[in-house]
Structure 1
Amino acid sequence: MTKRTSLKLTDERQLLLKRASEIVARDDLDDPPMSVVLDAALTHLVESRENLEDVRDQYPPQTVKDCCNTSVLGLRYRTAIESKWR
């Protein structure tokens, strides 16, 4: 990962940030800063991967795929968890 000092906010990215902000907000009046929303999203991604790793040997592969696959993380066969992003 390269470090950048700016973040280009495309329309799609702004929509994702708005949707994520609604999830992170305490209530309809809360407007969390972007840094809090990004921290929450990154933490969720890391924890989702860890959770997927933890359960993939406890349940049948199809059950794990049905419950845990997303557009970012997914179970491929029985041996690997892959990042589908980018």
Structure 2
Amino acid sequence: MSRAAINDNGRMSFRVRPEQKAILMRAAAIKKTGLTDFVLQNALQAAERVIEAAERVQLSERDSLRVLDLLENPPAPNAKLRAAAAALPPLR
């Protein structure tokens, strides 16, 4: 079960195995940056990719064309839609 971050001091801590830390330190040195900056920058990039993938809908070409066609040529409203529209309060 994940825990929500409740501390607002801007600090995070986590444990890594010595061999993992050595890899991170080597990569940070290659990039000529500090370990914290290296880990933070790469973690943020990974987080942005995860969020983008979760929030973006990718359609096939066929589905994209179908959506465009429906936008240009919407189907006639059915009885349920007409009833729902009729039940709406009037606009002010």
Q: Shorter-chain TM-score: which interval?
A: 0.3 to 0.5
Higher relative contact order (CA 8 A, sep 6+): 1
TM-score of the pair, normalised by structure 2: 0.37
- Greater share of helix: 2
- Greater share of strand: 1
TM-score of the pair, normalised by structure 1: 0.39
- In our comparison, the structure showing a higher alpha carbon Rg is 2
